Amino acid sequence: MKLFFSFVFALLAFTACTKPEKEVYIFTSHREPALDGLHYLYSYDGYHWDSIAGSWLKPEIGNKTPYYNYFTKQTEEQKYAPNSMMRDPSITQGPDGTFHLVWTTSWKGDLGFGYAQSKDLIHWSEQQMIPVMADEPTTVNVWAPEIFYDDEGEQFMVVWASCVPGRYEKGIEEEENNHRLYYITTKDFKAVSKAKVLYDPGFSSIDAVIVKRAKNDYVMVLKDNTRPERNLKIAFSGSMTGPYSPSSQPFTESFVEGPTVEKLGDDYLIYFDVYKKKIYGAMRTRDFRNFTDVTESVSVPVGHKHGTIFKASESVVKTLLEESKKK
C-alpha cells in the first residue's frame, strides 16, 4: 500500500510538472513616427490590452527617408531624417520556440523588409534586410510584411504589399499607390524563395493577414486601398499560397487599416486601426461571412499602431514586465 501511494504521489507530481504553461496574448506595435522601434501590448482575455513599457528593438537598417505624415500630408524632413524606422512589426513563434520578427523599414526606396529573431522577445539577433524584390528594381516599396508558420509545409511564409509601376491595371490610383500582394517562403531566412504574386484582386491591396482554420481551409483578411474604399475585405482558399477567391464586400467602415486576427474559443476577433478616428476597432466572427462589431467591448491603449497578435507563455510575458521596470 505504501508503494501504491508513493506511485500515486509521483504520478501527480509528474502531471503537475508537465502541465502546459498558460499562454497570454501579445500584440506587437509601433508608435508614430515609428522611429523608436518595437512595442508590445499584452492581454489575458484577448479583449482588454495593457502596454508593456519600453521599446524592445530599435531599427538600425533601411532607407533613411524622411517621415511622411499621412495626416498632415507633409514630408517632415528636418524633424525626423535621417533615422531608420520600424513600422508594422509582425512576430510568429517557430516550432523550436524561436520568435521571428519582420517589419517595414521605410516608406519608399527599400526592396526588402527587416528581419530579426529572439528566444525571449528581449534579446534580438543582428537585424537583416531580406531583399525580396531585388529582381524588381523599379519597386516603389515593401509594406507591412506579415509572417506565418506553415505547419504542413514546415516553413515560414511572409506576405507583403509592393507597388511595381506599370505592372497592373491602375484604376483610379496613382501608379505609385497601385499595390498587389506578394509572398516568399523560407525555412531559415537564409535560403528564401523567389517572390511571387499571392493575390491580384484587380485593385490596390495591402495589409494582408492569413488565417488557417483547418487543413485546406484558409482565410485572407486584406485592405482595399483604393479611393474611396480604404476598408477591409475577405478572400478564401484551399491552400495557404492560393489561389484565393474574389474578395468579399467590405465588412468595415472606410479609412481603416492594419488588420490582425486572434482565435478566442469558437470565435475570431479581427482588430484594425480606424486611423481617422484614432481608435482601434474590432469585429467578431465565426465564419468570416457574418460579423458583429465589438469595438465598444475592447480596450486598446492610445497610440498603438499596426501590429500582429500572437500567443506566448505567461513566463515570457512576466519576464518582459519585469524587464520593463528597468527601462
What domains are defined for the chain? 2-324 (2.115.10.20)
Q: What is the pTM of this model?
A: 0.90
Cell of 203: 485593385
pLDDT of residue 82: 52
Torsion of CA 80, 84, 89, 95, to 10 degrees: -160
| pLDDT of res. 10 | 46
**What pLDDT does residue 9 have?**
46
Q: Residue 19: what pLDDT?
A: 64
- The answer to whether 60 and 127 are in contact (CB under 8 A) is yes
pLDDT at 74: 59
Between CA 29 and CA 40 the distance in angstroms is 6
Q: Which residue has the cell 469585429?
A: 283
pLDDT at 188: 95
The per-residue b/e assignment along 273-290, b for 16 or more CB within 10 angstroms, e otherwise, is bbbeeeebbbbbbeebee
> What residues contact residue 219 under an 8 Å CB cut-off, 6+ apart?
210, 211, 213, 234, 235, 236, 237, 288
Per-residue pLDDT of the chain (327 residues; tens, 9 = 90+): 444 444 444 444 444 445 678 999 999 999 998 999 999 999 999 999 999 999 999 999 998 655 555 445 555 543 444 568 999 999 999 999 999 999 999 999 899 999 999 999 999 999 999 999 999 999 999 999 999 999 999 999 999 999 999 999 877 888 889 999 999 999 999 999 999 999 999 999 999 999 999 999 999 999 999 988 999 999 999 999 999 999 999 999 999 999 999 999 999 999 999 999 999 999 999 999 999 999 999 999 999 999 999 999 999 999 999 999 998
Helix (H, G, I), strand (E, B) or coil at 259: strand
* Ramachandran bin of 265, using left for φ above 0, alpha for ψ from -120 to 50, beta for the remaining angles: left
Rounded-to-integer distance, Cα 106 and Cα 313, Å = 32
Ranges of H-type helices in the chain: 2-18, 77-80, 314-324
Q: What's the pLDDT score for residue 175?
A: 85
